[in-house]
Amino acid sequence: MKIKGRKALITGASKGIGRAVAKSLASEGVDLFLTARDGNLLENLIKELSASDVKAGYKIADLAFENEVNELFADAVKFLGDINILINNAGIGIRGNVTEIEVSDWEKMYSVNLKAAFMLSRLAAREMIKRQSGYIINIGSGASQTPIAEYAGYCASKYGLLGFSESLGLELRERNIKVSIILPGSTATHFGGAAPEDKISAKPGILRPDDVANSVLYLLKQSDIAWTSVMNLRPLNLKRAHHK
Ligand SMILES: NC(=O)c1ccc[n+]([C@@H]2O[C@H](COP(=O)([O-])OP(=O)(O)OC[C@H]3O[C@@H](n4cnc5c(N)ncnc54)[C@H](OP(=O)(O)O)[C@@H]3O)[C@@H](O)[C@H]2O)c1
């Protein structure tokens, strides 16, 4: 896929992996529509991106709510005119034993990590099918295929996202639309509450948000006939720093 001039909707763009993906796509000339709940962070990012030669807009949305997901997509299409790339990145992980976790917390993980990705994918796929082209990239996790005690709800949502992503990929491949899921290992972001710097001190070789962003670019730049349905992205060696 030639990515310059394409138009992408990115969820969870206020920080961490989503922010890094937004910056790397902007540097490749992709117009962007960004979303998250924190409007200040999104606005700061849009200001940063104004130095690049792309059109970038945003909308505050809580993806736990169906109406906000639908309104987000409508505004994204209005702003971009078209959506060629959808990055379902927003996600939350709430720790808790199955015997104790609040049902509302379980539902929140299900809604943000899986249901919103389904809703946005189907809305985007309907547009992409009309044009017989497009790319949907989901950000899963190592927890899409590895169980973690006290994270049953998070794992359930991420295992679900893996099944959803691969099945949708099979549905859309003959429409010339690719669907991929990246399964990153632990990545130095604020995910889960700890500061990225503390995660790096504990595990110097932990993945950085840019590593995931580079993987998104790699997928987008693959040849038109190649399709990576699942990408396992792991740190090479957690004990050794690989980054400057
Ligand atoms: N960091 C890791 O170790 C790791 C490893 C594997 C996979 N992942 C996955 O990578 C993705 C990005 O995580 P990250 O590490 O970059 O974490 P992060 O820094 O906490 O970012 C999460 C993003 O999701 C957004 N978000 C959370 N709840 C939302 C909601 N209800 N509505 C809309 N947006 C919401 C957040 O924005 P607001 O707070 O502004 O709403 C933020 O932009 C997630 O899907 C996560 O599961 C992370």
* Structural domains of the chain in order of their starting residue, each with its CATH number: 7-233 (3.40.50.720)
At 241 the pLDDT is: 78
Residue ranges around ligand 1 (CB below 6 Å): 12-18, 36-38, 41, 61-64, 89-93, 112, 139, 141, 184, 186-187, 189-191
pLDDT over 90 percentage in the chain: 97
Q: Is the pLDDT of residue 180 over 80?
A: yes
Instruction: Give the active site residues.
Output: 154
Nearest Cα residue to 219 out of 106, 87, 126 = 87
Per-chain mean pLDDT for the chain = 97
State the distance from the centre of ligand 1 to the C-alpha of 92, rounded, in angstroms.
5
Q: 174 CA distance to ligand 1 centroid (A)?
A: 31
**What is the pLDDT at residue 118?**
99
Answer for the pair 188, 209: CB distance below 8 angstroms, yes or no.
yes
Per-residue model confidence (pLDDT) at position 240: 87
Max intra-chain CA distance, the chain:
51
Reading the block at residue 53, the tokens are 């030669």
- Using the predicted structure, report yes or no on whether residue 243 has a pLDDT greater than 70: no
pTM here is 0.98
